[in-house]
Amino acid sequence: MILRKDLTVEVRSLEIAYTTLFFAVSCVLFFAFALVKEGKAPEDGAAGILWIAIAFSGTLALGRTFERERQSETLRALLMAPAARPAIYVGKLLSIIALLVAAEVVLVPLVAFLFQVPLLAHPFWLAAVLVTGTIGFAAVGTLFSAMLVRARSRDVLLPVLLYPITVPVIIAGVRATAELLEPDVELALVRFWVALLVALDVVFVTLALWTFEPLMTD
């Protein structure tokens, strides 16, 4: 229900989608200017930059979605609604994931084009890595940005909280993506990183569901 509401608002205005996407694209362009020389990118650079762009634009999107709830005081209304707290969390989480996956659909071809790497050689595995990584990142991000709604200086605190915790997710995502870009891909290694990402997703979502209730109660 919250997923549907968020998506409806988003489709009507497309505010967050456009700003996030524009930010992510300019992020990738900056790195392309800085790193690609004579048509050659540094080794493994593309994987790192793809994930940096996802993490940065994800932070921006997380901040914005909850800022919107705060401005119109709807978060309080949501919390007062006769719905279970975990359901609110899951709805928010799904809408963030949908937003980030939509951004990735644009980012991946862009990175592949600017860094001249065969990102689309293994579409299934790449999708698996991106989706599991995004879930892990968004699971922690949704929890903390929901909690930060009331805090002072929330724009600074969200990255402070989010990045140390999501470091393993980003590392696993970058390593798996870099492995997919190798000329001869070792699928066993990719499978290992995806398994790690799934494990992290399970831990993060469980912890977030468990703590969302006491954290959102005043």
71 makes contact with another protein (CB under 8 A): no
Which residue, 120 or 156, has its beta carbon nearer to another protein?
156
203 makes contact with another protein (CB under 8 A): yes
Which residue, 24 or 170, has its beta carbon nearer to another protein?
170
Min separation Cβ 191 and another protein, Å: 15
128 makes contact with another protein (CB under 8 A): no
- Dihedral of the alpha carbons of 112, 173, 96, 99, in degrees to the nearest 10: 10
Do the beta carbons of residue 114 and residue 36 sit within 8 Å? yes
215 makes contact with another protein (CB under 8 A): yes
Min separation Cβ 161 and another protein, Å: 5
Segment near another protein (CB under 8 A), from 59-67, 72-80, 103-111, 136-144? 136-144
# residues near another protein by CB under 8 A: 26
186 makes contact with another protein (CB under 8 A): no
Do the beta carbons of residue 168 and residue 86 sit within 8 Å? no
195 makes contact with another protein (CB under 8 A): no
Do the beta carbons of residue 145 and residue 100 sit within 8 Å? no
What are the φ/ψ torsions at residue 80 (nearest 5 degrees)?
-80, -20
151 makes contact with another protein (CB under 8 A): yes
Min separation Cβ 215 and another protein, Å: 5
Min separation Cβ 38 and another protein, Å: 29
148 makes contact with another protein (CB under 8 A): yes
Cα separation, 184 vs 174, whole angstroms:
17
- The interface mask with another protein, positions 152-171, x = CB under 8 A, is xx--xx--xx-xxx-xx--x
202 makes contact with another protein (CB under 8 A): no
188 makes contact with another protein (CB under 8 A): no
Residues lying near another protein in the complex (CB under 8 A): 140, 143-144, 147-148, 150-153, 156-157, 160-161, 163-165, 167-168, 171, 203-204, 207, 211, 214-215, 218
